[in-house]
A and B are shown apart, each in its own frame.
Chain A
């Protein structure tokens, strides 16, 4: 299929023609997110690897910081705008922007436009960025039609659907579909899979004790699955649940970002973790 036809088709009916889209011609900007940058770089490298395997040309702009959720959710609209200005400038010229987090992707896709209501020029630029931004797993499955194969991981996993990814961006099938292709990995469904884990960004420190009650219920459900791995698509939620599990002394279950498993990095990460103990 030639490039011109694809482009013409994309303008008409995206959902069908996107399947044939030759992604290798497209430039992807990876928005790493601050939690991945500081707490879990391997998720960033896993994302990079997966996107390259899917045929994308990936660039990671070095001038990136945070999506602005802490400011936005605290009600600081001006602070959010200040952060958003530079995110928009850094990323608006890519064909696609990909984020390994449902909540940061949702922030860019849905909330930037909220704070630029009174600034038409920036509103248009924010809207454009929103249109090209995707959560990692949904980008790989829906846009790239990526099918993983050749990855192996022995054991069982349970999956927590983070709220923004699940409710705002409707990410549900995509991770499950991709994980089904990992050889040796079984799915033990989580009771209350889409119920909030109590993280909520600043909520978990502002209302630490309420958050604790919520995550305690979550970990109870997680342990009941008897899975070896707890997987999810958002570092915040994973850190919250893993941190609670560890505080309660449950070392039998390991929390991993879905991208880490799909990129085949899990054995290496688990090995490193064991080595540091």
Chain B
């Protein structure tokens, strides 16, 4: 499946809505996620407190980003880790490729990382001829299918079990002919196990970077991050600079929030803190460890008043609860990050000019903010992007004209009332049996639903007449 482009959003939406099973497939995952999250939070009385605490930790670290980045670098260097700084996606990707080339790597294993997707690492590795092995089960599925991820936690949620059965039979060396999930997982494990052990380099993302120790924390359910990181000689971490927290104690409330908000679990199977390369007496571990700290628009977000978005811990709750995401799915957004958080991030990672349509694909119903574990005011941020987009005149001319004409009317109440009463007459001319089935200039509404017929006079006309009658009577 070819990746969609953000600038083709209208077409992407059309294509998504035309897929008959897509909605059902998405709902299968998001409904379950919603229910499990609700249950996990009901069982965690400290949720609201953790949320406040998590938000505070993030806000504090973001505010003193320069300090904590310097501290992180110092402590990571002391562990023997090599630190790289990348200001753009291309730079980050190039740093990783250069390390791979330096070690003449033929095969690399990767554990799931949205940042890796953001910097285009999959394509960069594929294009350089290095064998890329995705080790997260869902990433493994979409690698076989050639799909981009459609969700930040369940990247293969758009694929059905039938799809997976077909893919595994076609690509696995020793495939299963059973259709049971356990056998399918075993089939993937057989395929991946040898690759884990023969990879030259392991590449991972990071859920948290701890400034006071220089460690990187990964959170998985499959243990694939551990197997990606430990056996190969070289380990590369790519992480956005907003992953920083002061210390392990600060990561704990965020971990509690992350697992519950993402999958409804109290904890994941594996939470590992990686501390640089193998030391003298260690039994195993990488001999060389690199951490690539990526900006890619993040400091600009800080400068642009979008710092609240840097709190995001990538749990996916906002998209699981988004009525728009549930109907169009992740691919339609044309970005690595879909849904509400994606619609705020993409304009910064790409540009507002190409990704402004997504900011309007939201009813501003506030559900995403309600479930966000770190209280990101997503509707407010989306609205402020619309304002930026308006100022830069990215909106289609007709939209601008309609909104401007409306505002020009609404600021002149007398004229507004006059036009309203004319509107009522016009609407009633188009109406049959109490309903309007179609009306000039109202195609956006009447394409899918009827419009109720208005009463014969506006409220204000009726109210004035009533008042006059009263005063005449008196």
Contacts and interface: CB of A to CB of B under 8 A. Distances in A.
A239 interface: yes
Interface string A39-70: 11110110000000000000010111110101
> Majority SS of interface residues in chain B?
helix
A82 B460 contact: no
Contacts, number: 207
Contact of A76 (B23, B324, B385, B407): B407
A196 interface: yes
Given A60-B463, A76-B407, A212 B458 contact: no
A214 B326 CA distance: 9
A74 B386 contact: yes
A80 B407 contact: yes
B13 interface: yes
A200 interface: yes
Contact of B444 (A36, A167, A204): A204
B70 interface: no
A224 interface: no
Nearest to B9: A207
Interface stretch (A12-20, A142-150, A178-186, A240-248): A240-248
Nearest to A66: B410
A124 interface: no
B390 to A, nearest CB: 3
Interface string B393-423: 0010001000110111111111011001001
A72 B410 contact: no
A32 B386 contact: no
A208 B445 contact: yes
A244 B434 contact: no
A34 B454 CA distance: 12
Contacts of A74: 386, 390, 395, 399, 403
A121 interface: no
A44 B459 contact: yes
Contact of A242 (B361, B399, B433, B452): B452
A83 B411 contact: yes
B181 interface: no
> Majority SS of interface residues in chain A?
helix
A77 interface: yes
Interface stretch (B196-204, B230-238, B282-290, B364-372): B364-372
Interface string A205-221: 11111111111000000
B454 A200 contact: no
A261 B380 CA distance: 34
Interface in B373-396: 380, 383, 385-391, 395
Given A38-B420, A73-B364, A214-B324, 10 more contacts: A65-B411, A72-B383, A75-B389, A75-B395, A80-B407, A82-B408, A206-B399, A207-B361, A210-B17, A214-B323
Q: Which 4 A-B pairs have the closest CB atoms?
A: A200-B363, A205-B444, A79-B407, A75-B386
